[in-house]
Amino acid sequence: MDFYKKWFWPLLLPSILLFGFVILFPFVVGVLNSFLAWRGTYYFDPETGIRATNLFASFIGFDNYANAFTDERFIRALVYTVQYTLVAVVVVNLVGLGLALLVTRARRGAGLFRTVFFLPNMLGGLALGFIWQFIFQIVFTDILFSPEGLMHIPFLRYMTQDSTKALFALVILNAWQYSGYMMIIYIAGLNNISRDYYEAASIDGATPLRTFRSITVPMLMPSFTVVFFLTLSNSFKLLDQNIALTDGEFNTRLLAMQILRTVKDTAPPDYGKAQAQAVIFFILVASITLTQVYVTKKRELEL
């Protein structure tokens, strides 16, 4: 025991230093900045109308938070993010699970399909966002779903030009990009389920649907926990695709972009307000993911 004890601090020091320098210290400074009239390159003094000579002169209490909550754009981004997350979590999960079930059914070529479905995940969001913008604006709008096209579906045209449609456009893009990843996790979960259960069910004459509900779903609970955690936090923090697809136009800003753009909405740039929004964002992300992990873990245990 003593052998490990004397090495505890020396060996942990690099992690603690790195953590302190990169995460903890900037985070604390960030929270402090959310109480100051911070302008990015200087601290503003509301009294003099120019650069503050000391930090206390720039202290404005909870003004940045109050400003954030009275900012129409912030509230809209908040609501939009919640809506997007709800749809995205459901869709990405269903598609991921569906793909996993299909791929595990296929005897030949399963590896090939798995590779193809996973591939988009390896590629960066910004670059692919540009390509998808091109697809929504040209392929969907002018070719596939136009009145002269394959099928006339007005909802699938001009998807980047309306906040509701753009939400689904983002979901389509992210389902395309992340379903393969979730599929991998579900496949592993499915492979972990012992064949014996299915045999027993089959002997009892259970319908496939019944088998799925009574065996597959409960046994996949650990996979659900992981996939929910990943999709939830990914959707909540989504940024690159949002920028590339609509750039926030037509009221399509998600929270991460709203924080980035706050400094562009204001002149001089209100970094203090952006920082306050980021702190609110942190509290939201933390409480939602923790609740989710708690709830699904609890369900896992109950089963």
Partner 1 sequence: MRKRIVVLLIVLITVSLSAFAGAQAEADKGYDLYIYNSKGENAAQFAEMAKAYEAETGVRVRTFSIGSGQDHMETLRAEMNSRNKPSIFSIQGVKELIEWYQGGFVVDFNSITDASFKALANNISPSLRLTNDGKTSFGVPYNVEGYGYIVDRQMIADLFGGASVDAFIADAKIATYAEWEALVKALDAYIKRNVQATVKLNGKAYVLATAKTGLAKNLNGVFAVMGAEKWTYGDHFINVAVNAVFANPNAAANATDADVEQLRGAFLAYAKALDLKTSYLAGLRGAATRGQDFVSSANFGYDQAVQIFADNKAVFFKQGNWAYGNIAGVNAAQAERLEFLPVKMPFESADIKVAGLTVAKLNSSIPVFVPNYYAINNQVPAAEQKLAMDFLVWLNTSATGKKYIVEEFNFIPYNADPATTTLPNSLGNSILDYIKAGTIIAAPYHGAPATWSGDVVGLRLMERYLTKPNWTAQDYKDIVDYAVQNWQSLN
Partner 2 sequence: MAVKPRESVALRGDTNYFLKKRIGYVATYVVLGIIALYTVAPLWFLVTNSLKGQAEIIRDPLGVPRAASFQYIIKATQEIHFFRSLGITFSITFVSVGLIVIISSIGAWMLVRNHTKWSQVIFMAFVAAMLIPFQAIMYPLIQFFDTLGLKNVTGLVFMYGGFGLSMSVFLYHGFVKGVPKGIEEAGIIDGCNIFQLFFTIVLPLLSSITVTVIVLNSMWIWNDYLLPFLVIGNSTTKTLVLELYFARILAGQFGNPWELIFPAVLITIIPIVIIFLFLQKYIVQGITDGAIKS
Residues 182-241 that bind partner 2 (CB under 8 A): 184-185, 187-189, 192, 195, 198-199, 202-203, 222-223, 226-227, 230, 233, 237, 239-240
Partner whose binding site includes residue 58, from partner 1, partner 2, none (CB under 5 to 8 Å by kind): none
Question: Per CB under 8 A, does 134 bind partner 2?
Answer: yes
Residues 39-78 that bind partner 2 (CB under 8 A): 40
Rounded Cα gap, residues 266 and 105, in angstroms: 55
Distance, CA of 96 to CA of 220 (rounded, Å): 13
Note whether 266 binds partner 1 by CB under 8 A. yes
Smallest separation, CB 186 to partner 2 (Å): 9
Those residues whose C-beta lies under 8 Å from the C-beta of residue 248, and which sit 6 or more positions away, are 242, 257, 258, 261
Residues 18-37 touching partner 2, rule: CB under 8 A, are 18-19, 21-27, 29-30, 33
Query: Considering beta carbons, is residue 86 or 127 the nearer one to partner 2?
Result: 127
Q: Which is nearer to partner 1, 118 or 158 (CB)?
A: 158
Instruction: Quote the CA–CA distance of 90 and 160 in Å, as a whole number.
Output: 21
Q: How buried is residue 58: exposed, middle or buried, by Cβ count under 10 Å (0-12/13-18/19+)?
A: buried
Token pair 């979730």: residue: 182
Q: Which of residues 123-142 bind partner 1 (CB under 8 A)?
A: 133-134, 137-138, 141-142
Stretch that binds partner 2, among 15-23, 62-70, 148-156, 160-168 (CB under 8 A): 15-23
Task: Find the binding residues for partner 1 in span 153-212 (CB under 8 A).
Answer: 157-158, 160-161
Q: Least Å distance between CB 59 and partner 2?
A: 17
List all residues 6 or more positions away from 160 whose beta carbon is below 8 Å from its beta carbon. 133, 136, 137, 166, 169, 245, 246, 250
Considering only residues 124, 155, 217, 294, which one is a binding residue for partner 2 as defined by CB under 8 A? Answer: 124
For residue 127, the SS3 value is helix
The separation between the first and the last C-alpha atoms of the chain, rounded to the nearest angstrom, is 37
Minimum separation from the CB atom of position 14 to partner 2 (A): 5
Per-residue mark of binding to partner 1, 12-51 (x: CB under 8 A): ---------------------------xxxx-x----xxx
Contacting partner 2 within 87-116 (CB under 8 A): 99, 102-103, 105-107, 109, 113-116
Judged by beta carbon distances under 5 to 8 A according to partner kind, the member of partner 2, partner 1, none in contact with residue 132 is partner 2
In angstroms and rounded to an integer, the radius of gyration of the C-alpha atoms of the chain is 24
Q: Which two tokens stand for residue 93?
A: 């999960």
Q: How many CB atoms lie within 10 A of CB 302?
A: 8
Query: Which string of x and - marks every residue 141-160 that binds partner 2 (by CB under 8 A)?
Result: --x-----------------
- Pick from 68, 89, 91, 128: which binds partner 2 (CB under 8 A)? 128
Q: How many residues bind partner 2 (CB under 8 A)?
A: 91
How far lies 288's CA from each of 93, 198, 231, in Å? 18, 35, 12
b/e map of 150-171 (b: 16 or more CB within 10 Å)?
Answer: eeeeeebbbbbbbeebbbbbbb
CA triplet 54, 55, 61: central angle to 5 degrees? Answer: 140
- Residues contributing to the site for partner 1 (CB under 8 A): 39-42, 44, 49-51, 133-134, 137-138, 141-142, 157-158, 160-161, 249-250, 263-269
